[in-house]
Amino acid sequence: MFNLVWGAVFVLVTYGFFLLCYRLFGKKGLYAWIGVATVIANIQVTKTIDIMGIVLTLGNTMYVSMYLTSDLLNEKYGAGEARKAVWFGFFTLIMTTVLMQMVLFFNPAPTDFAQESMEKLFGLLPRLALGSLSAYFISQFLDVRLFSWLRKLAPGRNQLWIRTNGSSIISSFVDTLVFCTVAFVFIYPWDVWLEIFLTTYLIKFVLTAVGTPFLYAARNFKFEDEADESNKASI
């Protein structure tokens, strides 16, 4: 029961920081969030927890927040800005993976105490790293495209929940399928693989719905510098 309650608090705090990052730093804050979230999500995913008898990996909340970020960029600034943010996140993920793998190759000093822990966190098998990179690249660009398509079908301001939930739910399905296939197929029996896939997708489905009110709140934020840029563009 503790993990369930603490997990709810964890989700609210994560989404709260997402709002605060945008409120304090505007569009630049969204890019910063994408960059940080790609790194943190891949660290958190190394820890598993048990909630009511179901074993889950962490990282899903932070990962879903990236969908919220790209959807917010798409909603307020256009698909071009959303795609740029996805590329930025892909860059930070590759950069972190390469640099941390290089760090692990250094011979530690006799007094070092971090090498073993860092190997557990960052010494991911190439298959897991490939799964994470592939899933991120495919699902994030798919999310941007789906959101833009849904905006044509449901353009109303009060229909944002359709755009964000519709695009994120499909993208999360693809993301989970790609990652679980690349990382775990033929490693676990099919029944175990299917359980991992379904539970991971289900939690992302719930987290997307929970994050929708935060997205509505973020959309209403206004920034003076962006208004000035808009006025200059119109002139």
Residue 46, helix vs strand vs coil:
coil
Owner of token pair 């033929």 = 186
CA distance 143 to 70: 8
Residue 90 has a CB neighbour count (10 Å cut-off) of 17
The stretch 117-124 carries a mean pLDDT of 80
The stretch 14-39 carries a mean pLDDT of 94
The stretch 52-72 carries a mean pLDDT of 87
Please, which pLDDT band fits residue 229 given cuts at 50, 70 and 90? very low
Domain total of the chain: 1
% of the chain at pLDDT higher than 70: 94
H or E element at residue 119? helix 115-122
The model's pLDDT over 142-179, given as tens digits with 9 standing for 90+, comes to 999 999 999 989 988 889 999 999 998 899 999 989 98
| CA-CA-CA-CA dihedral for 201, 203, 209, 213, to nearest 10 | -130
Q: Do the domain assignments include residue 8?
A: yes
The model's pLDDT over 130-144, given as tens digits with 9 standing for 90+, comes to 787 888 889 989 999
Q: Do the domain assignments include residue 18?
A: yes
Q: Do the domain assignments include residue 199?
A: yes
CA distance 84 to 77: 11
Please, which pLDDT band fits residue 56 given cuts at 50, 70 and 90? confident
Domain that holds residue 204: 1-123+189-233
pLDDT at 125: 55
Name every residue whose Cβ is closer than 8 Å to that of residue 111 and which is 6 or more positions away in sequence.
none
Q: What are phi and psi of 13, to 5 degrees?
A: -65, -45
Cβ contact 66:34 at 8 Å = yes
CA distance 85 to 29: 11
> Terminus-to-terminus CA distance in the chain, angstroms?
58
The model's pLDDT over 179-209, given as tens digits with 9 standing for 90+, comes to 888 877 777 788 878 888 888 899 888 999 9
Name every residue whose Cβ is closer than 8 Å to that of residue 60 and which is 6 or more positions away in sequence.
200, 203, 204, 207
Owner of token pair 């971090």 = 114
Predicted structure pTM score:
0.86
Q: Do the domain assignments include residue 164?
A: no
Q: Do the domain assignments include residue 167?
A: no
What tokens does 5 get?
Answer: 């309650």
pLDDT at 11: 95
Q: Do the domain assignments include residue 182?
A: no
Q: Do the domain assignments include residue 179?
A: no
Strands (E) in the chain, as ranges, are 48-51, 54-57
CA distance 64 to 118: 25
Q: Do the domain assignments include residue 139?
A: no
Please, which pLDDT band fits residue 124 given cuts at 50, 70 and 90? low
CA distance 93 to 89: 6
